[in-house]
Amino acid sequence: MRSIVLTLSLAMALPMIPTVAAADSHSCNQLRQTVFNRAPSISRDLPFGALTCDGISAIHLLLIRRNTYTPFDMNQRIEAIFRGEGLIR
């Protein structure tokens, strides 16, 4: 009985685990445009075109989990990703 309950609870919980957006070379540009459109307006002057697909994926994960961030906090976190990639100081 325990194994059935454990199996069912895992089956229901696994789809709720957040995953990082996987951007390969074919979908990276589309994800980049989505990130640019969803980013706070104060972040629009950042060089999104120079980010790697991993950087775009990291920002996308931030944006889909943005429920507790103010636009200023979100901008700070996005800028941290740009700093990590060496694109801004």
- Listed by start position, the domains of the chain span 20-84
- Which are the contacts of 20, defined by CB distance < 8 A and separation ≥ 6? 57, 58, 60, 61
pLDDT of residue 80: 94
Render pLDDT for 26-78 as a digit per residue (tens, 0 to 9). Answer: 588 899 999 999 999 999 899 999 999 999 999 999 998 877 888 899 999 99
Q: What is the pTM of this model?
A: 0.67
pLDDT at 1: 73
pLDDT mean over 10-20: 63
What's the pLDDT score for residue 19? 56
